[in-house]
Amino acid sequence: MYQISVEQHFDAAHFLRGYRGKCEALHGHRFRVVVRIESSGLDDIGLAYDFSELKQHLAEVISRFDHTCVNDVPPFDQINPSSENIAATIYEELKPKLTGVSIVGVEVWESPQTGVVYSPD
C-alpha cells in the first residue's frame, strides 16, 4: 500500500458564528491543506498517483476560497467555516475527482500549532 501526500494553502479570512472568544471576530489565516491518498498498486512507470495531478485537483477545490472571507463562500455562508468543516468540505469535493484511489485524510492547519484531520468513517 502506498500513501501519497500533497500540500497546498490558501489565504483567507473567516470568523466563527456562535463562538465565544477571539475567533468570533473576523481574522485571517494561511490555511495549509494536506491531502493524503492511498493506492494499492503502481502504474507502469512506478507511480501510485501523479503528484501534479493530485495538486491540480486540490487547487481546483480550494482556489475558490483563496483571498476571500470564507464565510461568504458556499457552503460556509450556511455552515461555520471551522477547520473541521473546511476539511470535510474539501474531502467531499475532492472525492469524485479521484478515481482508483481513496482519500485517507484531509488536514487543515490554521497555524503551525493548530490543525484538524478529517478522515472518512
Q: Which of 9, 23, 69, 93 is catalytic?
A: 23
Grid cell of 64 as nine digits:
475558490
9 classed as catalytic: no
Q: Which residue's entry shows cell 466563527?
A: 16
57 flagged as catalytic: no
Which of 14, 29, 57, 110 is the catalytic position?
110
Instruction: Answer whether the bond into residue 120 is a cis peptide, omega within 30°.
Output: no
Using DSSP's 3-state secondary structure scheme, residue 103 falls into: strand
CB atoms within 10 A of CB 13: 15
CB count, 10 Å around CB of 83? 21
What is the CA angle 73-78-82, rounded to 5? Answer: 75
Which residue among the candidates 7, 27, 53, 67 is catalytic per the annotation? 67
Known active-site residue 27: no
Question: Catalytic site residues?
Answer: 23, 67, 110
